[in-house]
Amino acid sequence: MSDRTADKAKIRAWRKAAHQGDADAQFALGRMFEQGRLVPANINAAIDWYWKATHQGHAAAEAALGDIYVRGDQVAHNFNYANKLLSSAANQGVATAMLWLSWMHAHGKGQVYDPFRTLVWARLALMHLPPSETEHREMAIAYRDWARSYLSPAQVARARRLARKWEPVSPALAAVDPAPAPPWRQRIAARLRRIARAPCHWLNAKIGAPSREAIWRDWSAWDYAQADDDDLRDNDPFRTQRADAVALLDVDRTRGFAMLVDLAERGSVPSMDRVGWCYFRGFGVAADAEKSEDWYRRAFEAGSMQGLLNYGRVLARRGDVETRERIYAAGAARDWAPASYLLAQVLVERSQTRQTFLKARPLLERAAALGSPAAKWWLVKYMIHGRFGIREIPQAFRLLWRQVLEESAEDGPVTPAATEVKAPDLEPQGDGHTSRIAAPK
């Protein structure tokens, strides 16, 4: 019997077993269609077979299907469903699923941004990956080292203990909820969404809309432009000494940083913000996320609006939603547009119920009225998606058109002098916006 005949017989046997409900055969067929091995590559057929195997609690199929949805491999990204699949597979000991969960926590995709959980899952992945998986092990090491830089020694030790005590759970307990719809129905829905987006893509091309990264930079620049701390700088009793310390930073970073710390300890609010930035960037001192957060907090509590923004974004990187809500509420109470917009986003991040969106709406409307470009965009997006009710959708398109006309009459976006700190940019490429911490003035 030739190899080709043997392969055909093998495929027929797997198909027969798969149609009879054999989860291993369903997974094998899915892998064949995904990789184009023995059969023509067909991602939709692969998803169909993986999906059937996941309904029987097949951990490897859950990991494979989650991998497809998180990468957006010829299908639309679905981070929420990928999170369910990968969590179930990881809890049953699948190392690649553990690595994906580490990536998701590092980039805030389908999971809350959390360096601590990034470290735990990266350690677990290293413990379960075989030595032959060198590429995956290098990725796990990269995320482990990145997460360590944001955690205290006590947190690192706790993550190590949790990884050592981890035990897999039974497939019955780890079984993922079934998909909200069969794959064929999801594909129809995705096609309809692409059709609905076509006018927006045409309009973007027509007006030469900037990239997503450029838009995020523009929004960040606007927020920091509103952080007017001129009074704090002008009334700083150590204004002259602070200027000397900042100038010294360019010549002797260590001495300049020491002078700034001394001024900050004596009550110079702008120096507090600068010290926080130095610790965040490792400028003149070893990078220390905890001390950076502490100095940003002190600057915020002393009345610095730039300190509020920087403190909030450090908290976002740590996943502390409650504290972010508290500090943004303090800024919103002062009718400050960036804080109102950010408070609305935190509320939506915590819960995406109809009541939450209705609670966030007045905050977005107030921030938009004060000129926040981010608030205008998110307000329109939520209206188009029907978050405030179906009757608001026509109004959303009128607001969108008005914004397009306003922006087309303005100059291009201003690129801020900002510093980007992000997780290792490993495959797959993250397409979201990363928090930017602006250097103090």
Show pLDDT as tens, one digit a residue, over the chain (441 residues).
466 677 778 778 888 888 888 888 899 988 888 888 888 888 888 888 888 888 888 899 999 998 888 887 677 777 878 888 898 899 888 999 999 999 988 887 777 778 888 999 999 999 999 988 889 999 999 999 988 888 888 888 998 998 888 887 655 444 444 444 566 666 676 677 667 667 666 666 665 656 667 777 888 888 888 887 888 888 888 889 989 998 888 888 899 999 999 999 999 999 999 999 899 888 888 888 888 999 999 999 988 999 899 999 888 877 777 888 889 998 888 889 999 999 998 888 877 777 888 888 899 989 988 888 888 888 888 887 777 777 777 777 777 777 666 665 554 443 333 333 444 445 433 333 334 444 445
CATH number, position 270: 1.25.40.10
Task: Tell me, yes or no, whether 378 and 393 share the same domain.
Answer: yes
Task: Tell me, yes or no, whether 432 and 298 share the same domain.
Answer: yes
* Of 240, 271, 239, nearest in space to 258 by CA: 271
Task: Tell me, yes or no, whether 193 and 273 share the same domain.
Answer: no
Task: Tell me, yes or no, whether 235 and 373 share the same domain.
Answer: yes
CA neighbours closer than 13 Å in the CB half-sphere of residue 195: 6
Domain count of the fold of the chain:
2
Last residue of one domain, picked from the residues 161, 187, 209: 209
The 10 Å CB-count burial string (b at 16+, else e) for 245-261 is: bbebbeeeeeebbebbb
Domain membership of residue 363 (yes or no) is yes
Task: Tell me, yes or no, whether 376 and 318 share the same domain.
Answer: yes
Task: Tell me, yes or no, whether 304 and 407 share the same domain.
Answer: yes
Domain membership of residue 118 (yes or no) is no
Instruction: Tell me which residue range forms the domain holding 184.
Output: 179-209
Domain membership of residue 301 (yes or no) is yes
